[in-house]
Structure 1
Amino acid sequence: MIESWRWYGDLDAITLPEVAQTGARGIVTALHEIPYGEVWPEDTIAARKARVTDAGFDWVVVESLPIHENIKRGEGNLTALFGNYRQSMANLAAQGVTTICYNFMPLLDWTRTDLAAPVKGGGTCLRFEAVRMAAFEIHMLGRREAEADYSPEVLNKAAAWYQQASESDRDALLASIMAGLPGAFDRYDVPGLRRALQTYDGIDRATLRAHYKRFLEEIIPTATDLGMRFCVHPDDPPRDILGLPRIVSDMEDIAWIMGAVDAPANGLTLCSGSLGANPANDVPAIAARFADRIHFAHLRNVAKDPDGSFEEAAHLDGDTDMVALCKVLIDEESRRGRAGRADHAIPFRPDHGHHILSDLDRSLIPGYPLIGRLRGLAELRGVFRALSHGHPDA
């Protein structure tokens, strides 16, 4: 397993020398400053790679090479956008960066309602609160059809929250929901979000799947030719949001994606937190079914509530059996090694983390603290080391 760390470049207050002290040896990064749909120039890629390698790391995964919203909507003549995307891929491959994590979530990336929910023992975490999400959808956006997505109890609590919430409370809720877009160029106020949502009118699950299939048909053959690996990140949370369909949320969705263009380059980012937020998902079972297509792993844990809320748990706590999941990954890595694959090692990173200790005094990207992720990496390192001890391929 390749221990890796997500680093946001100049947007990140955490420095590469600090990352070096975690013991990670791979960097997961992207050119967040380049607008969606534009080509990533090879010299800019080379400069980022030089920063990473000069600090003693390998750039192991791009996270992510974003997909323009017009592709997701199937809107207009997409020839230029697909061409730009393929050129960016070729420029990355020319610099030896060959694994790309991406997502196909419409409009918004990961969504939370609280960026600093308190955790037992001190510190804070990211949280998705069903009551606040319902209050946002129904009372702030005015999307009355959202009432069908929540229980009567949640609806009553949402109305009560909205009535007592101050303007600053509502602003904080909007900011939290927008926070899952680091480096993105679109941030919305409420009227702007309403307008953006209207651009997806008439796009249901089947339509979005058709647009996604076209993307895969346009991109995966090029990935194969370039020796690249593409790995889709599951929806976060794994449920429809704001009336937008989500199509990468469970085992059936992933099976459809892997079959849409059935090629080794068309793979999965196994995110235990995103998949784990769906009560119906057995994350180790999903990992076992698609093990040969896992090109990258995000390892984190969540604790779920009966009303659909969830929050980030410590990496070895929460509702997902992390030890069982890590064993699936170790076994698959060993299988690849026995098959003679030079690229048998699977990169993973400790995803998200609690803001604790001195992280609380720093201005850090929500969910991406230094010490909280260091704790997660150390715990996961111990699990992998224990599972590897005595393993026939260790």
Structure 2
Amino acid sequence: MKKIFEQSWRWYGPQDPVDLKTIKQAGANGVVTALHHIPVGDVWSVEEIEKRKKLLEDSNNEHPFPLHWNVVESLPVHEHIKQARTDREKYIENYKQSLRNLGKCGITRVCYNFMPVLDWLRTNVRYLLEDGSTALLHNLEDLIIFDLFILNRENAEADYEAGLVEKAKAKHAEMKQEELEVLKKSLLMALPGDKEGFTLEKLRNGLKDYEGISAEQLREHLVEFLEKVIPVAEEAGVVMAIHPDDPPWPVLGLPRVVSTASDLDYLFNKVPQKANGLTFCSGSLGASAKNNLPQIIKAYFERIHFVHLRSVQREENSRFYEANHLEGSAEMYKLVRTFYELQSKDDKQPLPMRPDHGHEMLDDQEKPYYPGYSAVGRLRGLAELRGLEFGIIKTLEN
């Protein structure tokens, strides 16, 4: 039976509470990982890459259900590249060398993003659902509260609709201190591999570094970066897959330039090589009702090198939370069927796909997992997606 996807799992390395044995038992073969211990901007050496590969190989000796490193997520882009600072060439050259080294080691897919300062952000990383599990939540009203009353960003009100600002002010007046602490901790949560984490001062400094950089300029900086690294990626046999902005709109006054179909059109027209590709994330793109997800798959199918499948439940005023994988606003059946129909036509190899942002549930709620990356919630998501894939294939092949 032809497969649509190569089942994959994100693993943060030896310090990840989810071990390789668990990944095998979840039914994934592909391991999506990165060298988080290497500072952003430094070269990933062949030695360090091979060391990570060996961890997977050794696990195969112990439990011979084969795992392999199929996607890098991610090889971070230094902020000085995004800002086009005078020393950016040093970091671009380091990035090129990392791509060469990955290619030498047989790692040929790289997921990355071009979001300034912040990666994905949520206003509550343990939002309580009706069934008692917890999910990631983004509530624009709460983000405004953080921006105006915790971060105290200058002239922040000008970036929001007046009606939303008034609602946020009224809500803030009723909030308890512990609710404000939850909000603060959620938005300053360190990314995996970031040992220092964010502080209000660090965030303010990061925002200051982008003062005067418009969305148009940031887009130009992205194109300039890709024009230099994509030829090297091609020579190394590596494809790059940019991850969309999450959420797909400006945040805290920062521009975002990989949020819409028109953003993707611009990027791929400017840098037309197929190695300049996309990580199709149904959650990030799907957070905006303006994005037609099946149309995006069809338009950029040849450039989709990696897939994140998750669904968010969109609500009013840019509020959304992570739904179960087969529920919410993504209409997952349509997405998986679209992938099947396109792959059947082109006889393309299965795409690496991982379930993203699972709920914290069952005994995982008592364990020190990074929000969205617990074991059981992602296992449930992967199982549901595998069942959906199987059903679509069997139905359409008969």
TM-score by length of 2: 0.93
Aligned residue in 1 for 2:335:
325
Aligned residue in 2 for 1:307:
317
**In the TM superposition, what is the alpha-carbon distance from 1:272 to its structure 2 partner?**
0.1
Q: Contact 2:190–2:196 (CA<8 Å) still a contact in 1?
A: no
Q: Contact 2:188–2:199 (CA<8 Å) still a contact in 1?
A: no
Aligned residue in 2 for 1:27:
31
* Residue correspondence of structure 1 range 1-394 to structure 2 within 5 A: 1-55=5-59, 56-143=66-153, 145-179=155-189, 181-184=191-194, 187-337=197-347, 344-389=349-394, 391=396
**In the TM superposition, what is the alpha-carbon distance from 1:105 to its structure 2 partner?**
0.2
**In the TM superposition, what is the alpha-carbon distance from 1:40 to its structure 2 partner?**
0.8
Q: Contact 2:150–2:184 (CA<8 Å) still a contact in 1?
A: no
Query: What is the rounded CA distance, in whole Å, between the counterparts of 1:180 and 1:251 in structure 2?
Result: 29
Query: What is the rounded CA distance, in whole Å, between the counterparts of 1:230 and 1:165 in structure 2?
Result: 44
With 75-84 and 122-131 compared, the bigger mean Cα shift is at 75-84
Q: Deviation per CA, 1:149-203: give whole Å up to 9, x if none.
A: 4344432332234334455443432221133622135633223321221110100
Percent identity, aligned pairs only, is 41
Query: What is the rounded CA distance, in whole Å, between the counterparts of 1:220 and 1:390 in structure 2?
Result: 39
**In the TM superposition, what is the alpha-carbon distance from 1:141 to its structure 2 partner?**
2.1
Query: What is the rounded CA distance, in whole Å, between the counterparts of 1:186 and 1:228 in structure 2?
Result: 31
Q: Secondary structure, in 3 states, of the residue corresponding to 2:342? A: helix
Q: Contact 1:298–1:351 (CA<8 Å) still a contact in 2?
A: yes
TM-score by length of 1: 0.94
**In the TM superposition, what is the alpha-carbon distance from 1:17 to its structure 2 partner?**
0.4
Query: What is the rounded CA distance, in whole Å, between the counterparts of 1:99 and 1:232 in structure 2?
Result: 11
With 283-292 and 99-108 compared, the bigger mean Cα shift is at 283-292
Q: Deviation per CA, 1:241-288: give whole Å up to 9, x if none.
A: 010000000100111111121011010000000000012111111111
Q: Deviation per CA, 1:92-140: give whole Å up to 9, x if none.
A: 1111100000000000000101011011212100000111100011222
Instruction: Give, as a single letter, the amino acid of the residue that structure 2 aligns with 1:66.
Output: P
Instruction: Give, as a single letter, the amino acid of the residue that structure 2 aligns with 1:13.
Output: P
Query: What is the rounded CA distance, in whole Å, between the counterparts of 1:303 and 1:180 in structure 2?
Result: 25
**In the TM superposition, what is the alpha-carbon distance from 1:41 to its structure 2 partner?**
1.4
Query: What is the rounded CA distance, in whole Å, between the counterparts of 1:156 and 1:31 in structure 2?
Result: 44
Q: Contact 1:216–1:260 (CA<8 Å) still a contact in 2?
A: no
Q: Secondary structure, in 3 states, of the residue corresponding to 2:106? A: coil
Aligned residue in 1 for 2:62:
none
Q: Secondary structure, in 3 states, of the residue corresponding to 2:155? A: helix
With 213-222 and 75-84 compared, the bigger mean Cα shift is at 75-84
Q: Contact 2:70–2:107 (CA<8 Å) still a contact in 1?
A: yes
Q: Contact 2:49–2:102 (CA<8 Å) still a contact in 1?
A: yes
Query: What is the rounded CA distance, in whole Å, between the counterparts of 1:278 and 1:258 in structure 2?
Result: 21
CA RMSD of aligned residues (A): 1.7
With 139-148 and 160-169 compared, the bigger mean Cα shift is at 160-169
Instruction: Give, as a single letter, the amino acid of the residue that structure 1 aligns with 2:7.
Output: E
Q: Contact 1:238–1:274 (CA<8 Å) still a contact in 2?
A: yes
Q: Secondary structure, in 3 states, of the residue corresponding to 1:365? A: coil
Query: What is the rounded CA distance, in whole Å, between the counterparts of 2:289 and 2:35 in structure 1?
Result: 34
